[in-house]
Copies of this chain bind each other. A is one copy, B any other.
Amino acid sequence: MREVEPKIAPLPSVRRLPAYLRLLHELRDRGRDVVSCTHIAAELDVGSVQVRKDLAVTGIVGKPRIGYHVPELIAAIENFLGWNNASDAFLVGVGSLGAALLGYDGFAEYNLNLVAGFDIDPARIGRSIRGKKVFALEKLPDLTRRMRVLIGILTVPDAAAQAAADAMVAAGLRAIWNYTSVHLRAPESVVVEDVNLAAMLAALSNRLTGSLRQWPAQTARIKSAARRRS
């Protein structure tokens, strides 16, 4: 039987693509037309084979002896990630973190277009944050359907997280970017991506402990290491 399914890419590779994309944008802006894996690898402190494998998932082919055509590579990555045409997103929970993300312009770089915010607090409904309007949560199903929005960003307090997620699912959103620390229950057909700051902080704490054990001397060593770098 013929295999029709597109082979799925390893998630670690997918996660690394944005870093390549960022560097490639920089190279393009500097007028560079071709680039080799070796160069990318050196710039990003990773192995060149890994770079080659990662780029391969986008379907790009390079030229031996030359490398990859930069604009072509950019297009391949953006196309693979679906970042070539902008996708809209709603944000649910306009507290301090939610408001900050609503006003954050950094998502535009990845063609993620934060359209509007939703909340249940009457004091927040109707206001605008950097041009993004805040609607009542009841409006979510209607607007999701009408604007064909697929992605929702969840920034409510932990206690309200599951209820808000249920509302997002019921409204028809197909992906939830979860900034709460709650383990959400959602149907299989809905993608949940956890930001999970606690997990990162755990890793940081753990690595810091190890690092302090290995380099106990404080200022002296650090300073000399910093000097060596520059």
Binding site for B on A (CB under 8 A): 8-9, 11, 14-19, 22, 44-45, 80-83, 87, 96-97, 99-101, 103-104, 106-107, 109-110, 112, 145, 150-151, 158, 166, 169-170, 172, 174-175, 177, 181, 183, 185-191, 193, 195-212, 214-215, 218-219, 221-223, 225-226, 228-230
Contact = CB atoms under 8 A, between A and B. Distances in A.
Counting every copy of the chain, the complex holds 2
Nearest to A180: B106
Contacts of A230: 166
B110 A198 contact: yes
Q: Is the interface of A mostly helix, strand, loop or mixed?
A: helix
A149 to B, nearest CB: 12
A172 B106 contact: no
B22 A198 contact: yes
Given A81-B205, A81-B206, A219 B22 contact: no
A186 B229 CA distance: 8
5 contacts: A81-B202, A175-B204, A175-B211, A185-B229, A189-B215
